[in-house]
Amino acid sequence: MNYRVHFLEKQGEFDKVTNELARAGWIGFDTEFVGEKSFIPVLCLIQIVSEEDIYLVDTLRITNLEKFLAILSDPDVLKITHAGDNDYRLLNTLYGTVPQNTFDTQIAAGFVGYNYPAGFAKIVERELKVTLAKSHTVADWEARPLDKKAVEYAIEDVKYLPALHEKLTRRLQKRNREAWAREENRKWETAVYYEVDPNKELLANDFVHQLDFREKVFLMRLYRWRIQRAMELNSPKENALQSRHISTVLRAIKNGPNAFRANRTLPENIWKKNYEAWEALWRNKATDEEKAFLDALPKPKPEDPEHEWTMELLYHFVKKQCLEHEISAALLLPKGDFNRLKAGNDDFDHSLLDGWRAELLGSELVNWLVSGKNVKVSWEKGICKLTV
């Protein structure tokens, strides 16, 4: 693993390198970015590993990344990452890139006995017997020149990707799970994966079901206003309006400025600066589009302790199957997705019970999960029997 390391700062050098990489069968890569200062994170560095070389690409100086993005979209070039979800999401946000032919070591590890998501250092240590120094996981990636230890960390982040790919691929093949890992990676290779629902925050807030119609309209508009304001300021949403203040604004807006003055939790400079905009959000009548969206909101279902117990029992069966086959339960059915299934939410992704998952769980357990039928428990001569 003695790679030649190159720091690329000029567009011409970068274009020449990417022309060569485009003819390779594979690359490994990672990105470093700063996300706490702006609405859209700033891409500061791309690390690329090939057969004999590691390239550190200064994306603060090299602004035309088209040739690299073309490699990501090329189905003939394998892209190796670790936890590549964040990298692909950022590149999609910035450039609209949809990758093809991906392999992720974190996903692969989840199919061969690791908990998901397992850290890079842990997998490298177990698979390659190398201990990584992770002292610079948080670094000032916008600083130039880069700190020496930050550079070493950036190199380590891609240096072991090829060897991990080789090792994990052999383990996947041994267990006949290479197709399963490929299926899981394929979800990153569609444009729909990167779509963001502008009402995501509203839908995730159970409090919305306790509001009257006008309050729901205002809350939906307030979430959207916060995003728009953050974009205008090129600042994180929390800088536009902190999440902890949203319920305060909702309660106070219907009673005018005096309600804001009486509330000490919301700083005066914040509400005075934004009151006129918020008041317009409250005053304006709901549009037909807003009415249709809110009318279609799924109503919370009545509590059903038996159903709750049944679904939790089923999840333990899922975990048992995962334990027996050494596959991470968090990879097979993440708890958040299971909770949506348990609640009967319309936004549950039923593809999570297809493909390799259905193959592993078996048709009976999948049908039981989908139907959600309650279970009867009986004891006969010391034997516990479960009946749907």
3-state secondary structure of 384: strand
- Asked whether this chain's domains 4-194 and 305-387 adopt the same fold, the reply is no
- pLDDT tier at 297, thresholds 50, 70, 90: confident
Instruction: Check residue 342 and give its pLDDT.
Output: 87
Say whether pLDDT at 72 is over 60: yes
Say whether pLDDT at 165 is over 60: yes
Residue, of 78 and 314, whose pLDDT is higher = 78
Instruction: Check residue 251 and give its pLDDT.
Output: 94
Provide the strand spans (E) within the chain: 4-8, 26-34, 42-49, 53-58, 78-81, 102-104, 376-380, 383-387
Instruction: Check residue 105 and give its pLDDT.
Output: 98
* Main-chain dihedrals φ then ψ at residue 271, nearest 5 degrees: -70, -35
From residue 81, alpha-carbon distances to 14, 72, 100, 193 in Å are 20, 11, 12, 17
From residue 373, alpha-carbon distances to 156, 318, 364, 370, 386 in Å are 50, 16, 12, 8, 12
Instruction: Check residue 137 and give its pLDDT.
Output: 59
3-state secondary structure of 344: coil
- pLDDT tier at 371, thresholds 50, 70, 90: confident
- pLDDT tier at 340, thresholds 50, 70, 90: confident
Instruction: Check residue 135 and give its pLDDT.
Output: 52
Lowest mean pLDDT among 262-271, 280-289, 366-375: 366-375
Say whether pLDDT at 292 is over 80: yes
The CATH code that applies to domain 305-387 is: 1.10.150
How many angstroms separate the CA atoms of 140 and 146, rounded? 8
Considering the chain, what percentage of its residues have pLDDT values greater than 70? 98
Domain ranges of the chain: 4-194, 200-295, 305-387
Cis peptide before 162 (omega within 30 of 0): no
The CATH code that applies to domain 4-194 is: 3.30.420.10
Angle (nearest 5°) at CA 100 between 174 and 18: 110
Average pLDDT over residues 188-210: 90
Average pLDDT over residues 94-109: 98
Say whether pLDDT at 259 is over 70: yes
- For residue 219, give the H/E element and its range: helix 213-233
Instruction: Check residue 138 and give its pLDDT.
Output: 67
End-to-end Cα, the chain, rounded Å: 56
Average pLDDT over residues 211-219: 96
Strands 102-104 and 42-49: unpaired
Lowest mean pLDDT among 113-127, 265-279, 339-353: 339-353
Q: Would you say the pTM of this structure is higher than 0.85?
A: yes
31-61 pLDDT tens trace: 999 988 899 999 999 999 999 999 999 999 9
Identify whether the C-beta of residue 345 lies closer than 8 Å to the C-beta of residue 298: yes
321-338 pLDDT tens trace: 999 999 999 999 999 899
DSSP 251-320: HHHTT-HHHHHH-SSS-HHHHHHHHHHHHHHHHSPPPHHHHHHHHTSPPPPPP-HHHHHHHHHHHHHHHH
Instruction: Check residue 351 and give its pLDDT.
Output: 84
Looking at domain 200-295, what is its CATH homologous superfamily? Answer: HRDC domain (1.10.150.80)
Residue-averaged pLDDT of the chain: 93
How many angstroms separate the CA atoms of 154 and 366, rounded? 42
With tokens 């999948």, the residue in question is 366
Q: Could you give the count of Cα atoms lying within 13 Å of 271 in the half-sphere of its Cβ?
A: 22
CB atoms within 10 A of CB 283: 9
Strands 53-58 and 4-8: parallel
Strands 42-49 and 383-387: unpaired
Average pLDDT over residues 169-190: 97
